[in-house]
């Protein structure tokens, strides 16, 4: 009898772990307190268990549903904890990032093969919203915002890379060197972008916001045209 499973191609394990790690870094950059960091660790562990629970192993796990249930409980618990922090500003910093990690975990499990990329993109969107909220409500410094943005985009890129590798080569293929190089290259480029942006900010402090807007508007329009 042939076993029918909804998902035949799963993201590669290393890229999955690295993506979750980068998402955690992005959220941790925005959330400085210890209570927040504990919630992040719980969410990442939970998302990791969600992913593990979705895999098939050579020898079947004795309690196959246990990692999934435990992971879901951890993720939901950490989000609840984030909601109930004493300082509401801490909640704003933390919750969107936790939702992002949870969505990334669901995308990398994946819940449904063809929705893997959508979940990962939704995870990026949640993390980006988090960065935006912190920027609006706290007027946070540029280093935090830029670092969190770059890490979130890198997490999305690594997750997407892992999905494409899983699709084309499946998880049993040896792909580690490619995953490490890709993650390294994207992260390094992200770091360079952050440094360049900070240098622009330092020199551009004297520039009026209007001029900066014009400059950026032009650059973004150019990009949008390039991609059409």
Partner 1 sequence: MTVRATGRWRGIVAVALLFVAVGVLTDRPATLLAGVVGAGLAAYPKLSRPPTVDLELERHLGDARPACGEPVTVTTRVTNTGSHTLADCRVIDGVPAMLSVAGGSPRHAAVLRPGETTEFSYAVESEPGRHQFDPATVIARDITGAHEVETTVAAGTEIQVEDAVPELPIRPQPDGYAGRLVTDEGGSGIEFHSVREYRPGDPIGRIDSKRWARTGELTTVEFREERPASVLLLVDARPAAYRAEADGRPNAVAHCLAGVEQLVSALSDTRDAVGLAAFGRELCFRAPGVGTDHETALWQLLATHPAFDATPPGQVRARGGAEGIGSDDELDRQATLLRKQLGTDTQVVVLSPLSDEHIVETVRTLAASGHTTTVISPDVTAEGSLGQRLARRERRHRLRALRGADVPVVDWDPETPLGTVLLAEEKRRWSA
Binding segment for partner 1 among 20-28, 36-44, 45-53, 152-160 (CB under 8 A)?
152-160
Question: CB of 54: closest distance to partner 1 in angstroms?
Answer: 17
Q: For residue 76, give the nearest of 52, 51, 107, 45 by alpha carbon.
A: 45
Query: H or E element: which one contains 86?
Result: none
Q: Print the binding letters for residues 127-146 with partner 1: x by CB under 8 A, - otherwise.
A: -x--xx--xx--xxxx--xx
**CA-to-CA distance for 181 and 177, rounded, in angstroms?**
6
Using rule CB under 8 A, residue 4 touches partner 1:
yes
List binders of partner 1 among 8-67 (CB under 8 A): 8
Using rule CB under 8 A, residue 223 touches partner 1:
yes
The separation between CA 48 and the C-alpha centre of its own chain, rounded to angstroms, equals 13
CA separation (Å) from 150 to 142, 144, 191? 12, 10, 7
Using rule CB under 8 A, residue 199 touches partner 1:
no
Using rule CB under 8 A, residue 173 touches partner 1:
yes
Write the DSSP symbol of residue 113.
Answer: G
Residue from 66, 69, 185, 211 that binds partner 1 (CB under 8 A)? 185
List binders of partner 1 among 99-128 (CB under 8 A): 121, 124, 128
HSE-CB at 172 with a 13 A cutoff on CA atoms is: 4
**CA-to-CA distance for 215 and 228, rounded, in angstroms?**
20
Question: Are 116 and 107 contacting, i.e. CB atoms less than 8 angstroms apart?
Answer: yes
Would you say 72 or 150 has its CB closer to partner 1? Answer: 150
Question: CB of 25: closest distance to partner 1 in angstroms?
Answer: 15
Query: H or E element: which one contains 95?
Result: helix 88-108
Using rule CB under 8 A, residue 193 touches partner 1:
yes
CA separation (Å) from 141 to 66, 135, 226? 42, 8, 31
Question: CB of 176: closest distance to partner 1 in angstroms?
Answer: 9
Question: Are 105 and 45 contacting, i.e. CB atoms less than 8 angstroms apart?
Answer: no
Residue numbers of the site for partner 1 (CB under 8 A)? 1-4, 8, 121, 124, 128, 131-132, 135-136, 139-142, 145-146, 149-150, 153, 157, 160-161, 164-165, 168-170, 172-175, 177-178, 181-182, 185-186, 189-190, 193-194, 196-198, 200-201, 209, 212-213, 216-217, 219-220, 223-224, 226-227
């Amino acid at each position: 009898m042939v076993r029918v499973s909804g998902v035949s191609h799963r993201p590669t394990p290393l890229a999955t772990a690295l993506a979750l790690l980068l998402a955690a870094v992005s959220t941790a950059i925005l959330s400085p307190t210890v209570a927040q960091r504990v919630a992040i660790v719980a969410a990442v562990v939970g998302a990791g268990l969600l992913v593990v629970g979705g895999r098939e192993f050579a020898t079947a796990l004795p309690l196959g549903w246990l990692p999934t249930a435990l992971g879901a409980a951890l993720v939901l618990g950490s989000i609840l904890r984030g909601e109930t922090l004493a300082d509401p500003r801490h909640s704003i910093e933390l919750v969107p990032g936790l939702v992002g990690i949870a969505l990334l975990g669901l995308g990398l499990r994946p819940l449904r093969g063809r929705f893997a990329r959508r979940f990962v993109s939704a995870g990026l969107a949640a993390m980006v919203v988090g960065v935006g909220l912190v920027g609006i409500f706290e007027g946070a410094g540029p280093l935090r915002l830029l670092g969190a943005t770059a890490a979130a985009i890198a997490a999305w890129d690594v997750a997407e890379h892992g999905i494409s590798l899983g699709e084309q080569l499946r998880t049993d293929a040896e792909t580690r060197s490619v995953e490490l190089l890709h993650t390294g290259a994207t992260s390094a480029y992200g770091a360079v972008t952050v440094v360049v942006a900070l240098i622009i900010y330092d020199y551009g402090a004297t520039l009026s916001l209007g001029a900066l807007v014009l400059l950026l508007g032009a650059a973004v329009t150019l990009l949008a045209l390039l991609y059409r």
